Amino acid sequence: MFSSSFTANDLLFMLEGAWVTLDLTLWAMLIGTLGGLLCGFLRAWLPRLTLPLGWLLDVFRSVPLLIQFVLFNALKSMLGLDSSVFAVGCVVLGIYCAAYCTEIVRSGVLAVPGNVIRAARSLGLTQRQVAQYVVLPMATRVAFPGWINLTLGVMKDSSLVLWIGITELLRSAQTIVTRIQEPLFVLCVAGLIYYAMSWGCARVGALVEKRWQEND
């Protein structure tokens, strides 16, 4: 019969790590979404003028996230910045998220038909009003599925913060594995927790999309 040294306290420790994972994901998506909205509109409406911005974002999309964590953490130490590793994790994940969110927003903005924008302008709306009341609502529906997928990806990629010393879900699982030497069982538990968090996020996204369809 199967027996394990895994205890309720171990599960609680992993759930605390899962909370850190969710916290990291929340802050990263907040930073990334705000940055992505700004950069996405700029890249859609001023593509030539924002070419340097596009090249910079390509760097953050191309360089592996683990390298970014290590470099930013080392840069913090070299500059003598008094910030926690959690703040470093949030900033790096946020910039990484913004780089991808920019393309999601840009594709959503470009999906809005030009004749709709021209019609709004002909009614006397300013450029800001067109962006706020016409382009943004339509682009949001197009970009939302991609944004949900990005959220799920960031949630899983947040496990890389263990390399800079943050105890999130995966690091808490590794700590328990080191103590009880049952890697398969502990990692299965961690996988189930990741699945539950991802399922909840995807379910919320599906409900939002369904509500939009009902309101059409």
Query: At 64, which CATH number?
Result: 1.10.3720.10
- 36 lies in which domain range? 18-166
164 DSSP 8-state letter = G
pLDDT bracket for residue 164 (50, 70, 90): confident
Mean pLDDT of 92-107: 94
Mean pLDDT of 54-72: 92
Task: Answer whether residue 110 is part of any domain.
Answer: yes
pLDDT bracket for residue 133 (50, 70, 90): confident
Task: Answer whether residue 10 is part of any domain.
Answer: no
Task: Answer whether residue 104 is part of any domain.
Answer: yes
Pairwise CA distance, residues 83 & 77, whole Å? 9
Task: Answer whether residue 157 is part of any domain.
Answer: yes
- Taking the CA atoms of 152, 155, 158 and 162 in sequence, report the sign of the dihedral they define: negative
Please say whether the beta carbons of 157 and 203 come within 8 A: no
Pairwise CA distance, residues 184 & 109, whole Å? 45
| This prediction's pTM | 0.88
For 102, residues 6+ apart whose C-beta sits below 8 A from its C-beta are 35, 36, 39, 40, 43, 57
Residue closest to 44 by CA, chosen among 135, 109, 89: 109
Long-range contacts: 202-211, Cβ < 8 Å, 24+? 202/148, 202/152, 205/144, 205/145, 205/148, 205/151, 208/144, 209/144, 209/145
**How many domains does one find in the chain?**
1
| Residue type at position 213 | Q
Task: Answer whether residue 177 is part of any domain.
Answer: no
Task: Answer whether residue 42 is part of any domain.
Answer: yes
Rg (CA), the chain: 21
pLDDT score at 216: 60
pLDDT bracket for residue 2 (50, 70, 90): low
Q: What's the mean pLDDT when you consider all of the chain? A: 90
Task: Answer whether residue 29 is part of any domain.
Answer: yes
Residue closest to 169 by CA, chosen among 209, 197, 130: 197
Pairwise CA distance, residues 174 & 190, whole Å? 10
Q: Which two tokens stand for residue 20?
A: 């850190």
Task: Answer whether residue 118 is part of any domain.
Answer: yes
